[in-house]
Amino acid sequence: MQLARVIGTVVATTKDAGLAGRTLLVVQPLSPQRETVGVPLVAVDSVGAGRGEEVFFVRGREAAFPFLPVVVPTDASVVGICDHWHPDGGAEASPGRHSRARRRSARATKQGRN
């Protein structure tokens, strides 16, 4: 598994039928120090991640496993959202679930549900 930050989404009106209804995210791989490494890539979302969130993803054949028994043609999938992580033993918060909860609350307020 690798750490990454979601930096965008991909909209594709024409795609393989196995990708129908799936969210495609653009993720930027990160080092343990949260520095960008390598180039961004497209990954199929299996957890409902959003822009700006730090996530972990898998590559290769295992990337299709979260969707079984449905066959999804992917070699990269986001499989988790980081609440926080720290490479050196110190606790450091990441945007993770806390920012998701704030976004959901803001959306609910806008829509008059709160």
92 pLDDT tier (thresholds 50, 70, 90): low
Task: Return the pLDDT at 26.
Answer: 98
Q: What predicted TM-score, i.e. pTM, was given to this entire model?
A: 0.75
108 versus 42: which is more confidently predicted?
Answer: 42
pLDDT tens for each residue of 32-90: 889 999 999 999 999 999 999 999 999 999 899 998 998 899 999 999 999 987 777 55
20 versus 95: which is more confidently predicted?
Answer: 20
* Mean pLDDT value across residues 2-18: 94
28 versus 102: which is more confidently predicted?
Answer: 28
Residues 6 or more apart whose CB falls under 8 angstroms from that of 4 comprise 27, 28, 29, 30, 43, 54, 55, 56, 57, 78
What CATH number is given to the structural domain containing 8?
2.40.50.220
Task: Return the pLDDT at 94.
Answer: 55
Tell me how many domains the chain contains: 1
User: Containing domain of residue 28, as a range?
Assistant: 2-110
d(CA 46, CA 50): 11
